């Protein structure tokens, strides 16, 4: 556990992590000793994680975070609880790193229920030999992202595994938030006539990661869109409290989320290719690599199904928000064929957009 019982913290401020002194093996790299439960692990927690995450609940250093129910109740009437593990390779990419992703991803999973995200846990699985300064940089990014999203990282766990047993660093974050009273969003609630909305360019994160792997000898100025969406969601709920479905389009992209809505609600969803916001650079990379941007991952893009009479007003409101400037209505819900997503292509044809079997694999020629 990250909280080693009786240890107390000197409450240093954010960013003032101390070097790990007195470690038995190597001060500059994470060793198995840092996950052993002994002194080295305590130092890692006390001198790195606690000072950076910097909040009183964590600093209590108990085996669990203790959260007063009264505080939760101020935000709504239902608890939202989620977890996600982050294993991205490379750890750093244009627009962010695994730390930011681990916070924003879990914040967004809470936010799309209409919840106010409040508390996160942080589980680190570190490969032996991982550079300490890289870990520090990632943990600082987590703190930065948490501050941006208004959440605290209040409990955690650290494990170190032998070299080769994990790829550098994996992070798990679980999160809790509280859902606003009266808000009820579910994938089952799409109705024929509803409009489909997204908050901006799709596929940025997927392409940024592909290019950052540096295997393709392709260059493009594409940044990951990793960002928290909760504030935008609140903004949307202020305009339309009756959002029917809402999800963030992460792995599997827009196509996967729309298929989930179509199946869960027993409806058909039709989207218009000319209305899809896709950057030229992302389209270009997809053309060259034989990939479909509809399936590329995003890390700050939501897909909403809303009553059509509210759609225009909602998009106008979203466009006023910093992360909604490129919002667009991209399609509509129809009665049939049930469980199916269809794309009206720029060319004027219609095709089905199915869920992928596995990862997209580039075509041979």
Partner 1 sequence: MKFVDEFRDPQKARILLQEIQGLIKRIPICGERPIWIMEVCGGHTHTIFRSGLNNMLPKEVEFIHGPGCPVCVLPRGRVDDCVDLAEREEVIMTTFGDAMRVTGSRKSLLQAKAEGADVRMVYSPLDALQLARVNRDKEVVFFGLGFETTMPSTALTILQAKQEGIKNFSIFCNHITIIPTIKAILDSPDLHLDGFLGPGHVSMVIGMEPYAFIAEYYRKPITIAGFEPLDILQSVWMVLKQLAEGRCEVENQYTRIVPPYGNSQALQAIQEVFELREFFEWRGLGSIDHSGVRVREEFSTFDAEQKFPIPNLKIADPTSCQCGEVLKGVIKPSQCKVFGTACTPQNPLGALMVSTEGACAAYYNYGWIPEEDLHPARSSV
Would you tell me which residues interact with partner 1 (CB under 8 A)?
Answer: 195, 215-217, 268, 270, 272, 275, 280, 283-284, 287, 289-290, 292, 308, 311, 329, 331-332, 334, 336-337, 340, 342-352, 354, 357-358, 361-365
Report whether the peptide linkage leading into residue 118 is cis, meaning its omega lies within 30 degrees of zero. Answer: no
DSSP helix/strand/coil, 303: strand
| Residue with Cβ nearer partner 1 (33 or 269) | 269
Minimal distance, residue 196 CB to partner 1, in Å = 8
Minimal distance, residue 265 CB to partner 1, in Å = 17
Tokens 């039709």 -> residue: 270
Distance CA 272, CA 244 (A): 20
Are the C-beta atoms of residues 294 and 254 closer than 8 Å to each other? yes
| Residue with Cβ nearer partner 1 (69 or 357) | 357
Distance CA 248, CA 108 (A): 7
| Residue with Cβ nearer partner 1 (182 or 192) | 192
| Residue with Cβ nearer partner 1 (78 or 283) | 283
Minimal distance, residue 290 CB to partner 1, in Å = 8
Tokens 């219609």 -> residue: 350
| Residue with Cβ nearer partner 1 (88 or 126) | 88
Minimal distance, residue 327 CB to partner 1, in Å = 14
| Residue with Cβ nearer partner 1 (70 or 348) | 348
DSSP string for residues in 280-298 = HHHHHHHHHHT--GGGS--
- Encoded tokens for 172: 């798990």
Tokens 């846990």 -> residue: 121
| Residue with Cβ nearer partner 1 (61 or 330) | 330
Residues 6+ apart with CB under 8 A from 24: 31, 33, 39, 40
| Residue with Cβ nearer partner 1 (176 or 285) | 285
Minimal distance, residue 101 CB to partner 1, in Å = 23
The total of other beta-carbon atoms located within 10 Å of residue 44's CB is 25
Indicate the length of the chain as a whole number. Answer: 365
Closest by CA to 305, choosing from 275, 260, 252, is 260
Minimal distance, residue 349 CB to partner 1, in Å = 2
Q: How far is CA 298 from CA 32, 55, 176, 183, in A?
A: 34, 30, 22, 25
Minimal distance, residue 212 CB to partner 1, in Å = 16
| Residue with Cβ nearer partner 1 (245 or 329) | 329
Minimal distance, residue 361 CB to partner 1, in Å = 4
Q: Given 3-state DSSP classes, what are the helix, strand and coil percentages for the chain, each rounded to the nearest 5? A: 35, 20, 45
DSSP string for residues in 81-125 = EEEEEE--SSSEETTEEHHHHHHHHHHHHHHTTTEEEEEEEEEEE
Q: How far apart are the first and last CA of the chain?
A: 50
């Amino acid at each position: 556990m990250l909280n080693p019982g009786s240890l107390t913290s000197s409450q240093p401020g954010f960013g003032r992590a101390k070097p790990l002194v007195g470690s038995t093996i190597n001060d500059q790299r994470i060793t198995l000793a840092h996950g052993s439960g002994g002194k080295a692990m305590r130092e890692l927690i006390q001198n790195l994680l606690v000072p950076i995450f910097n909040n009183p609940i964590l600093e209590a250093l108990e085996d669990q975070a203790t959260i007063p129910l009264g505080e939760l109740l101020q935000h709504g009437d239902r608890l939202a609880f989620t977890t996600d593990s982050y294993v991205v390779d490379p750890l750093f990419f244009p627009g962010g790193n695994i730390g930011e992703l681990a916070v924003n991803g879990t914040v967004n999973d809470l936010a799309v229920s209409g919840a106010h995200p409040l508390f996160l846990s942080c589980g680190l699985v570190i490969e032996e030999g991982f550079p300490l300064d890289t870990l520090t940089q990632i943990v600082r990014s987590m703190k930065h992202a948490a501050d941006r999203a208004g959440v605290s990282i209040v409990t955690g766990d650290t494990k170190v595994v032998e070299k080769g047993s994990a790829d550098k660093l994996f992070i798990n974050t679980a999160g809790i938030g509280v859902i606003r009273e009266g808000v009820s969003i579910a994938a089952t609630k799409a109705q024929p006539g509803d409009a489909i909305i997204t908050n901006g360019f799709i596929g940025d994160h997927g392409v940024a990661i592909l290019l950052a792997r540096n295997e393709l000898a392709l260059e493009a100025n594409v940044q990951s869109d990793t960002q928290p969406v909760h504030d935008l969601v609140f903004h949307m709920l202020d305009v339309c409290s009756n959002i029917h479905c809402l999800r963030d389009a992460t792995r599997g992209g827009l196509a996967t989320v729309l298929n989930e809505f179509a199946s869960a609600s027993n409806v058909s969803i039709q989207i218009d290719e000319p209305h899809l916001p896709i950057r030229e650079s992302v389209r270009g990379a997809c053309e060259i690599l034989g990939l479909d941007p509809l399936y590329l991952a995003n890390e700050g893009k939501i897909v909403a199904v809303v009553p059509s009479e509210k759609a225009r007003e909602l998009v106008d409101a979203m466009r006023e928000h910093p992360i909604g400037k490129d919002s667009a209505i991209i399609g509509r819900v129809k009665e049939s064929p049930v469980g199916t997503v269809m794309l009206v292509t720029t060319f004027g044809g219609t095709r089905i957009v199915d869920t992928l079997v596995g990862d997209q694999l580039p075509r041979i020629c």
